[in-house]
């Protein structure tokens, strides 16, 4: 498995990656900026996600909405923000490639002249409303914020959510967001991937034509921070929910670090699908939970391994906690069985193949090339990434479970209905999230 590519860096620092795929007359334009919520600071959060919105509101030479001209050209278009990066992408008919490149380059180089107080205020309200819809008014929606706040110190870049704090967004000024853009949204902090029906030489010529004249901008310093828990914590959050839910969260190795892939497989073995250990035991056999999940949330400077169980009616969360801890101890002692490793490997292979099926969008070839380039400086890391899973052993998986889960402190969070704190784990401390 590999994605053939050619990479060059323009004189202004913009990485350009080209992958030819002439099966369809389409080209994917995929642009990553190496900036996310981890590049913010306390009191000034939510800026990276805010710019995900502002970048669609027009730039100096196209001071109108970004979607209409692209959609008239037959393009698919979207963007997203995480704690570690911001990306924008279009999948366009080959004949509309220059339009997509022109618009991407114009908002990279000339967004600020069109970024007015009115646009800023409007999109800030859009983001605040998104926060209300997706977090504040969604059952269990604030649990992730409570866990992040408990797992990471207030000055750690993963302490706050990507969407930001409402007070920080309301306090932000136009000058604040201008300064943030000038620091991070420029060629020296970006990676452009072009994949599809285009010749490599032509692709580099077009990249130079549309982006080559833009000033490089300052190269941001890498973000470094230590994360850890001195002791385990037991918390309770009251919410508008019907059934109590238990979250268990541990610190885990950073993306691509030692143990990252092993914990990914452990999460799969414990709680992915109806044949997983905890689903079979808790949901199907004992019927003490309505659902169970586990995942290794891999991030650039520090990751989190998290498990969640929603209790069946009348079942105490302490019973779920005991069952989950027993499953963790079991896999830490013996590791996954050969059949479980085979199943996890098959699912991993399927995920890698899925990324090769499309040229663009979230997770397509262009997106994957940019991910490896942004995080590792190597767009060709695809097969080495896959080998982390292919070569895994039960011994290595068990060692990772012992080190990062069984022997490590954790945060336990009980989410219970309002006024029912007695449903939480015994001794839990109340937390409030705003």
3-state secondary structure 3-38: CCCEEEECCCCCEEEEEECCCCCEEEEEEEECCCHH
What pLDDT is stored for residue 410 in this prediction?
Answer: 98
Distance of CA 25 to the CA centre of its chain: 30
Give the C-alpha separation, 49 to 123, whole Å.
11
* 209-213 long-range Cβ contacts below 8 angstroms, 24+ apart: 209/101, 210/98, 210/101, 210/102, 210/104, 210/105, 211/10, 211/12, 211/14, 211/16, 211/101, 211/105, 211/108, 211/109, 211/187, 212/10, 212/11, 212/12, 213/109
140-38-229 Cα angle (round to 5)? 65
Q: What is d(CA 144, CA 430) in angstroms, rounded to the nearest whole number?
A: 15
Closest CA to 158 of 222, 225, 220: 225
**What's residue 351's pLDDT?**
87
- Tens-digit pLDDT string for the chain (434 aa): 688 999 999 999 999 999 999 999 999 999 999 999 999 999 999 999 999 999 999 999 999 989 999 999 999 999 999 999 999 999 999 999 999 999 999 999 999 999 999 999 999 999 999 999 999 999 999 999 999 999 999 999 999 999 999 999 999 999 999 999 999 999 999 999 999 999 999 999 999 999 999 999 999 999 999 999 999 999 999 999 999 999 999 999 999 999 999 999 999 999 999 999 999 999 999 999 999 999 999 999 999 999 999 999 999 999 999 999 999 999 999 999 999 999 999 988 898 888 888 999 999 999 999 999 999 999 999 999 999 999 899 999 999 999 999 999 999 999 999 999 999 999 999 998 87
Distances (CA, A) of 263 to 64, 153, 267: 46, 23, 6
CB 164 within 8 A of CB 255: no
Residues 23, 147 contacting (CB under 8 angstroms): no
- The Cβ of residue 215 has, within 10 Å, a number of other Cβ atoms equal to 10
Q: Homologous superfamily of 6-211 in CATH?
A: Metalloenzyme, LuxS/M16 peptidase-like (3.30.830.10)
DSSP state of 403: I
Write the DSSP assignment of 265-303 as a string of letters.
HHHHHHHSSTTSHHIIIIIIIS--EEEEEEEEE--SS-E
Q: Where are the domains of the chain?
A: 6-211, 233-430
* Confidence (pLDDT) at 391: 86
- Dihedral angle over CA of 142, 145, 151, 155, nearest 10: -150
Task: Assign 191 to helix, strand or coil.
Answer: strand
User: What is the reported pLDDT for 417?
Assistant: 96
Nearest one of 58, 150, 91 to 431, comparing CA atoms:
150
Answer whether 193's CB lies under 8 Å from 363's CB. Answer: no
Residues 310 and 349: their CA atoms lie apart, in Å, by 30
pLDDT of residue 398: 97
Distance CA 315, CA 323 (A): 12
Q: Which residues contact 11 (CB under 8 A, 6 or more apart)?
A: 212, 216
pLDDT score of 434: 75
Q: Tokens 């704190």 correspond to what residue? A: 421
CATH superfamily of 233-430: Metalloenzyme, LuxS/M16 peptidase-like (3.30.830.10)
> Which one-letter DSSP state was computed for residue 75?
-
Fold match between domain 6-211 and domain 233-430: yes
pLDDT at 354: 87
Going from the C-alpha of 92 to that of each of 104, 208, 225, the distances in angstroms are 13, 19, 39
Burial class of residue 56 in the structure, from the number of CB atoms within 10 Å of its CB (0-12 exposed, 13-18 middle, 19+ buried): middle
Query: In the block, which residue shows the tokens 């929910």?
Result: 241
């Amino acid at each position: 498995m590999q994605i053939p590519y050619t990479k060059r860096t323009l004189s202004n620092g913009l990485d350009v990656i080209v992958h030819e795929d002439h099966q369809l007359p389409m080209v994917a334009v995929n642009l990553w900026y190496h900036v996310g919520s981890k590049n913010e600071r306390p009191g000034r959060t939510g800026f990276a996600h805010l710019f995900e919105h502002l970048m669609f509101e027009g730039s100096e030479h196209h001071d109108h909405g970004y979607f209409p001209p692209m959609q008239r050209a037959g393009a698919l278009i979207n963007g997203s923000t995480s704690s570690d990066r911001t990306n924008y992408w279009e999948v366009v008919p080959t004949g509309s490639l220059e339009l997509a490149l022109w618009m991407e380059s114009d908002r990279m180089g000339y967004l600020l002249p069109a970024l007015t107080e009115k646009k800023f205020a409007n999109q800030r309200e859009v983001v605040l409303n998104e926060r209300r819809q997706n977090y504040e008014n969604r059952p269990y929606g604030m649990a992730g914020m409570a866990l992040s706040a408990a797992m990471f110190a207030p000055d750690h870049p993963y302490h706050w959510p990507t969407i930001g704090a409402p007070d920080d967004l309301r306090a932000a000024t136009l000058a604040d967001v201008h300064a943030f853009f000038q620091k991070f949204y420029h060629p020296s902090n970006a990676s452009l991937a072009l994949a599809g029906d285009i010749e490599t030489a032509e692709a580099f010529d077009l990249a130079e034509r549309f982006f080559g004249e833009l000033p490089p901008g300052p190269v941001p310093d890498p973000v470094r921070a230590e994360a850890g828990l001195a002791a385990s914590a037991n918390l309770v959050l009251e919410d508008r929910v019907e059934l109590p839910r238990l979250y268990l969260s541990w610190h885990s190795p950073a993306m691509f670090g030692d143990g990252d892939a092993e914990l990914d497989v452990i999460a799969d073995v414990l709680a992915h699908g109806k044949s997983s250990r905890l689903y079979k035991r808790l949901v199907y056999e004992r019927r003490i939970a309505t659902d169970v999940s586990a995942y290794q949330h891999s991030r650039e400077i520090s990751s989190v391994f998290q498990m969640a169980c929603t209790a069946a009616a009348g079942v105490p969360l302490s019973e779920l906690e005991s069952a989950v801890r027993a499953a963790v101890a079991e896999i830490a002692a013996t590791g996954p069985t050969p059949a479980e490793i085979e199943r996890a490997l098959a699912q991993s292979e399927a995920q890698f193949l899925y990324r090769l099926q499309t040229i663009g969008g979230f997770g397509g070839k262009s997106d994957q090339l940019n991910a490896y380039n942004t995080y590792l400086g190597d767009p060709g890391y695809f097969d080495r990434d896959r080998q982390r899973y292919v070569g895994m052993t039960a011994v290595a998986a068990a060692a990772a479970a012992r080190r990062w889960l069984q022997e490590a402190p954790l945060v336990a969070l009980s989410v219970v209905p309002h006024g029912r704190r007695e449903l939480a784990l015994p001794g839990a401390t109340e937390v409030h999230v705003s």
